[in-house]
Structure formats: C-alpha cells, structure tokens
Amino acid sequence: MGSAFKLVGFLAAAAAALLLSPASGAGDWQPAHATFYGNADPNESRTGACGYDDVFKQGYGNMTAALSTALFNSGAACGGCYEIQCVSDTQWCLPGTITVTATNFCPPANKPNNDGGWCNPPLKHFDLNFPAFLKIAKYRAGIVPVQFRRVPCVKSGGIKFEMRGNKDWIAVLIFNVAGAGSVTAVSVKGTAAPLGRWIEMQRSSGEVWAVRWQSALVGQALSFRVTTSDGKTVESDNVAPPNWQFGQTYEGKQF
Ligand SMILES: *[C@@H]1O[C@H](CO)[C@@H](O)[C@H](O)[C@H]1NC(C)=O
Ligand SMILES: *[C@@H]1O[C@H](CO)[C@@H](O)[C@H](O)[C@H]1NC(C)=O
C-alpha cells in the first residue's frame, strides 16, 4: 500500500517535472568551464563573431559570452541565452546565477586543453565578458567550473532587422530575438514580381543573413520570416518601407 502510494507520488512528481520543463523553457543543466575577456577594454566585447556591431546599443549590455567550438555550432548558437552558475569551487565561486547571450566565438588555441586551450574542441566553454564573470566568480580565479542551461531570452519590443551589405549582396543582421533567441532560418519577401515571394536567406556569419543578386529588392517594402531553434516562426510583414536604406534598423514582430 505504502509503496503503491510512493509510486503514485513518484509518477506525479515525474509528470510534473515533464510538464514544468517545457513550460519554463529551460534546458537541462550541463557542466562546462568559464573564463573572462575584455577586462581592460569594454570594446573587446562590443562586437564579435555573431555579427552584432554594438552589443551595448543592441541591448545585450555586459551580459554576453564567447562560446567554444563545441557550443558555438558555426554561429547557430548566436543570440541564444544561457543561465550560468559557478559550481564546486568554494574558494572562487560566488552565489547566484547570471544569464548571458551568445554574441561571440572563442576560437581553439594551439595550447593544451587544460592550459590555455579552454575553447578547444570538444570542451564546452564560456569566455564571459569581464563584468559578467565578476558576478559569478572572483577575479583571481581565472577559470572556474560552471553549470549552464539554455533559457528563454527575454526582450522588449520586436525583432530588429539591421540592413547590411549592398545591392548585389543584401544582408540583414537579426537581433533582439526573444524566446529561443538563436535563429535557424530567415526568408525575405519583396512586394513586386518576381520577388513578391519568399526567398530563403543564407547565414553569412552568426546572425547576419544574406541573399545574392536580388538587387530588385532595393526600393521594395521587405517582409521577413524568422525561424528559431525551437522550431517557431514569426512573420513580420512590410517591416522595411520601400525606401529602406542600408545601415538602417527596422522593428518587426516578436516571438
Ligand atoms: C570604444 O568604441 C567606441 C565606439 O566605437 C569609441 O568611441 C571609443 O573611443 C572606444 N574606446 C576605447 C577605449 O577604445
Ligand atoms: C558594463 O560594465 C562596465 C564595467 O564594469 C560598466 O562601466 C558599464 O556601465 C556596464 N555597462 C552596462 C550596459 O551595464
């Protein structure tokens, strides 16, 4: 009897856990390590391999990270949000967690994995912007063990589309993406035939997506369809007006 009740209780708890994790949108905790960069100069973290040209102006602030090859996934991780906690190091860890956005790549180094080659494959590593690192560990630690999990990105306002490139190579930087945050597919649509249909864009680097030889899109209102790594798609119609300009940013809908 007692064990039957325990089993029912266990099943109920398991069902609740199953229901809870998709609801909170957080992934499972995984082990990794963290270091920091940009301690002397905040400009070191201002740009990066994800293509953001100013993470401060673009709303990511100091809570950013460069990811090792194993996590960066050739730029597919860009824009994703990670909750990180320093663990199992009572000397150097501070309590609490931070949430950072992947904005940069931490490249492999010609050094041993345990001595400077922290970002070498297959290591899971976060090279945190210095102010972010200081929230979870003491400066002198240098490198600390952490646990991390994917969490939904919280944003205000719509997805932002910053036009880049030129008439032969129309590109767009996609930022301020809520939810999964990391974009897996982008399509663009003009208003006049033959470009009044969805045209798939290619990932150029990080969150910069591009199409070639579609110069007729210049002078047409643009719509964008953005799909994130959780499989959700948001369509923003006529986000950019017909007189859109390279270098300008337009705001669409949000996840
Ligand atoms: C950081 O970048 C900004 C914008 O490009 C520039 O105005 C500033 O002088 C730079 N600061 C340093 C310390 O290089
Ligand atoms: C980022 O950190 C630097 C150094 O701690 C600080 O001066 C700056 O105000 C911070 N910026 C933001 C947007 O929080």
What's residue 27's pLDDT?
A: 84
Q: Band of the pLDDT at 4, cuts 50, 70, 90?
A: very low
pLDDT at residue 185 above 60? yes
This prediction's pTM: 0.88
Which residue is closest in CA terms to ligand 2's atom 3? 131
Shared domain for 145 and 44, answered yes or no, is yes
Please provide the average confidence, as pLDDT, over all residues in the chain.
Answer: 91
pLDDT at residue 162 above 60? yes
Shared domain for 147 and 170, answered yes or no, is no
Taking the C-alpha atoms of residue 174 and residue 185, their distance in angstroms, rounded to an integer, is 11
What's residue 43's pLDDT?
A: 87
The C-alpha torsion from 141 through 144 and 58 to 201, rounded to 10°, is: 140
Which residue is closest in CA terms to ligand 1's atom 12? 43
Atom of ligand 2 nearest to the CA of 134: 5
Which residue is closest in CA terms to ligand 2's atom 1? 62
What's residue 39's pLDDT?
A: 80
Q: State which of 126, 151, 176 marks the end of a domain.
A: 151
Shared domain for 131 and 205, answered yes or no, is no
Give pLDDT tens digits for 192-218.
988 999 999 999 999 999 999 999 999
Atom of ligand 2 nearest to the CA of 62: 1
Taking the C-alpha atoms of residue 152 and residue 240, their distance in angstroms, rounded to an integer, is 27
What's residue 89's pLDDT?
A: 79
Give pLDDT tens digits for 65-92.
999 999 999 999 999 999 999 998 789 9
Question: Residue 57 falls within a domain, yes or no?
Answer: yes
Beta bridge partners of 174: 161
Between the two ends of the chain, the Cα-to-Cα distance in Å is 48
Question: Residue 69 falls within a domain, yes or no?
Answer: yes
pLDDT at residue 7 above 90? no
Task: Please check whether residue 221 is in contact with residue 191, taking contact to mean a CB–CB distance below 8 angstroms.
Answer: yes
Give pLDDT tens digits for 100-140.
999 999 999 999 999 999 999 999 999 999 999 999 999 99
Number of structural domains, the chain?
Answer: 2
Cβ-proximal residues to 10 (8 Å cutoff; 6+ apart), any chain: none
Shared domain for 41 and 120, answered yes or no, is yes
Give the position of tokens 């986000």: 239
